[in-house]
């Protein structure tokens, strides 16, 4: 029995499924999850000391590679001054000001402790601001595990094919309307059928929880116009895309402004951080200014703030990071494309910026139904072949790959070469 198998057996005695987040359990791809010991740059090292090229990067935060020195040092220096006060600090002001300097249409921003909290709070705020109850989300999009979002959700919910999550009351379901991603007509119909009742449309501006699915031309623009016309709050869930697709996230990259935007992942540099922000006219309804209550003991705590501030400052001061991410992902794309084309099997590679995914599909993958109907059993085989050969891909076809600047050209060549080698085995 390997160390990983021993650890997994032991973990399952005390932790549900042996993991603290379901997507880590390898349930859809099968096999034993890998227990990681440490990581540096582009590489993970498991409990047996085996090295992996990392294409998960903690599901996004490690955009500059693991153990990024300035973040490590910032945390080490700060931790000696206590890990939390539960009182306001100057550091939180600096973090909010830095975010506002990178995302111009955010007038006010509130720190929270996860992407789920950010999205959950944004929805409550939209409901409190509009006095309406219904929300629209898209099939295959994942906004965290708050009740309102666990309707046709992506990521682990799709991976485990959980159609209706037990414990979510029907009253919640009834207020969460869904439409296929990239289907503007379906959203228009929901707006017509629920006139004056929809508080918000929440979307991943580039979907990353059903693999990577970019917005079709005109789709987001159409939603923006619909929200303006119907008085609906337009929420960009940028937990994944924020500070990844550009310094200003998807809003900058795609040239569209939402009314509220949520963040997570990169914003904390690996520490538990989320945030939501947007127009002052809306954000002023949040307590203590308004009565939309939202709170958190550890929100804005100094260790999370110094990690996040150091990370965001590095991204703001090194714009070349985004060109590097783009170039490395494009190189990976070209290599994978060549290997897959040479094999002659059906496949689609979706990419926008440094978000990329492979779908073994004979048709375009523009929504969840298409992602779900791909040959995901083949993806599972591909996943394990790459894992056995030291490349750690997301353990599900319903996830995007995350690229870090620490990835070397040799790592990319190795990933492409191993993909070609895998294709020889099928
Ligand atoms: P967290 O609560 O996990 O910090 O964020 C939830 C969330 C919200 N919005 C988007 C677009 C997200 O991608 C996420 C979380 N993403 C998943 C991976 N696809 C997190 C991994 C996990 O669940 O362990």
**Atom of ligand 1 at shortest range from CA of 241:** 11
Assigned token pair, 200: 């918000």
Residue 173's pLDDT is what?
Answer: 86
Are the beta carbons of 150 and 178 closer than 8 angstroms? no
Q: Whose CA is nearest to atom 9 of ligand 1?
A: 143
Query: What pLDDT does residue 44 have?
Result: 98
CB-count exposure of residue 77 (10 Å: 0-12, 13-18, 19+): exposed
Catalytic residue among 237, 259, 367, 411: 237
**193 in active site:** no
265 labelled catalytic: yes
Give the distance (Å) from ligand 1 centre to CA of residue 115.
6
Q: Is 115 in the pocket of ligand 1 (CB under 6 A)?
A: yes
Domain boundary among 317, 336, 357: 317
Q: Among 317, 340, 356, where does a domain finish?
A: 317
Same domain, yes or no: 159 and 279: yes
Same domain, 313 and 328: no
Which atom, in ligand 1's list, is nearest to the CA of 21?
A: 24
Whether 156 and 292 share a structural domain: yes
Task: Please report, for the domain that includes residue 275, its CATH number.
Answer: 3.40.640.10
Which atom of ligand 1 is nearest the CA belonging to 116? Answer: 2
249 lines ligand 1 (CB under 6 A): no
Identify the residue whose C-alpha is closest to ligand 1 atom 15. Answer: 144
| Binding site membership of 394 for ligand 1 (Cβ less than 6 Å) | no
User: What is the C-alpha to C-alpha distance for residues 172 and 165, in angstroms, rounded to an integer?
Assistant: 11
Task: Looking at the structure, tell me whether residues 308 and 331 fall in a common domain.
Answer: no
* Residue 286 and residue 368 share a domain: no
Domain boundary among 294, 317, 340: 317
Domains of the chain: total: 2
Same domain? For 235 and 142 the reply is yes
Q: Is the CB of 123 under 6 A from ligand 1?
A: no
Q: Which of 144, 157, 371, 396 to mutate to test the pocket of ligand 1 (most atoms within 8 A of CB)?
A: 144
Q: Whose CA is nearest to atom 21 of ligand 1?
A: 59
237 plus 357 within the same structural domain: no
> DSSP per residue over 99-133, as a string?
HHHHSTT-SEEEEESSHHHHHHHHHHHHHHHH---
Pair (179, 263) in one structural domain: yes
Q: Which domain holds residue 264?
A: 69-317
Gap between the terminal Cα atoms of the chain? 28
Decide: 321 and 64 in contact? Cβ < 8 Å: yes
* pLDDT of res. 153: 87
User: Can you say whether the dihedral through the CA atoms of 415, 418, 419, 420 is positive or negative?
Assistant: positive
Active site residue 142: yes
Q: Which of the following is catalytic: 134, 137, 152, 265?
A: 265
Q: CB of 266 closer than 6 A to ligand 1?
A: no
Report how far ligand 1's centroid is from the alpha carbon of 145 (Å): 8
Which is the catalytic residue, given 55, 68, 129, 142? Answer: 142
Same domain, 163 and 199: yes
Same domain, 109 and 98: yes
Tens of pLDDT along the chain (426 residues)? 889 999 999 999 999 999 999 999 998 899 999 999 999 999 999 999 999 999 999 999 999 999 999 999 999 999 999 999 999 999 999 999 999 999 999 999 999 999 999 999 999 999 999 999 999 999 999 999 999 999 888 888 888 888 778 999 988 889 999 999 999 999 999 999 999 999 999 999 999 999 999 999 999 999 999 999 999 999 999 999 999 999 999 999 999 999 999 999 999 999 999 999 999 999 999 999 999 999 999 999 999 999 999 999 999 999 999 999 999 999 999 999 999 999 999 999 999 999 999 999 999 999 999 999 999 999 999 999 999 999 999 999 999 999 999 999 999 999 999 999 999 999
Residues 362 and 234 grouped into a single domain: no
| CB of 238 closer than 6 angstroms to any ligand 1 atom | no
The domain spanning residue 26 has which CATH number? 3.90.1150.10
CB 54 within 8 A of CB 396: no
The structure's pTM equals 0.98
Atom of ligand 1 nearest to the CA of 154: 19
DSSP-derived secondary structure for 142-199: ---S-GGG-BS--HHHHHTT-SB-TTS-HHHHHHEEEE-TT-HHHHHHHHHHTTTTEE
Residues 83 and 14 both lie in one domain: no
């Amino acid at each position: 029995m390997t160390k990983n198998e021993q650890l997994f057996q032991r973990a399952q005695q005390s932790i549900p499924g042996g993991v603290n987040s379901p997507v880590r359990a390898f349930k859809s791809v099968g096999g034993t999850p890998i227990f990681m010991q440490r990581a540096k740059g582009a590489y993970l090292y498991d409990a047996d000391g085996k090295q992996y090229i990392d294409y998960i990067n903690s599901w996004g935060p490690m955009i500059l590679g693991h153990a990024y020195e300035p973040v490590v040092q910032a945390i080490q220096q700060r931790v000696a001054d206590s890990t939390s006060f539960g009182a306001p600090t100057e550091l939180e002001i600096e973090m909010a000001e830095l975010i506002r300097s990178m995302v111009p249409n955010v007038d006010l921003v509130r720190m929270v402790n996860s992407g789920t909290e950010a999205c959950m709070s944004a929805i409550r705020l939209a409901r409190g601001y509009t006095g309406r109850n219904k929300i629209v989300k898209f099939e295959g999009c994942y906004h965290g595990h708050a009740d309102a979002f666990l309707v046709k959700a992506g990521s682990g919910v799709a991976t485990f094919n959980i159609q209706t999550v037990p414990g979510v009351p029907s009253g919640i379901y009834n207020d969460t309307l869904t439409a296929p991603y990239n289907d503007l007509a379906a959203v228009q119909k929901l707006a017509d059928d629920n006139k004056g009742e929809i508080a918000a449309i929440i979307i991943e501006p580039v979907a990353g929880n059903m693999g990577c699915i970019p917005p079709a031309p005109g789709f987001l623009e159409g939603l923006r116009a619909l929200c303006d016309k119907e008085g609906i709050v337009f929420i960009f869930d940028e937990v994944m895309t924020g500070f990844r697709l550009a310094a200003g996230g998807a809003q900058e990259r795609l040239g569209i402004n939402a009314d509220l935007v949520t963040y997570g992942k990169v914003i904390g540099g690996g520490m538990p951080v989320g945030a939501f922000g947007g127009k002052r006219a809306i954000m002023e309804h949040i307590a203590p200014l308004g009565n939309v209550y939202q709170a958190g003991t550890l929100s804005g705590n100094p260790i999370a703030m110094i990690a996040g501030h150091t990370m965001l400052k590095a991204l703001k001061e090194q714009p070349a990071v985004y060109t590097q991410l783009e170039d490395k992902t494009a190189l990976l794309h070209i290599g994978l494309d060549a290997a897959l084309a040479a094999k002659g099997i059906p496949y689609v590679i979706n990419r926008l910026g440094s978000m990329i995914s492979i779908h073994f599909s004979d048709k375009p993958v523009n929504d969840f139904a298409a992602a779900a109907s791909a040959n995901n059993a083949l993806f599972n085989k591909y996943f394990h072949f790459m894992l056995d050969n030291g490349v750690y891909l997301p353990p599900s076809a319903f996830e995007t790959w995350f690229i870090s600047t620490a990835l070397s050209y040799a790592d990319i060549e190795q990933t492409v070469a191993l993909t070609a080698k895998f294709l020889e085995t099928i």
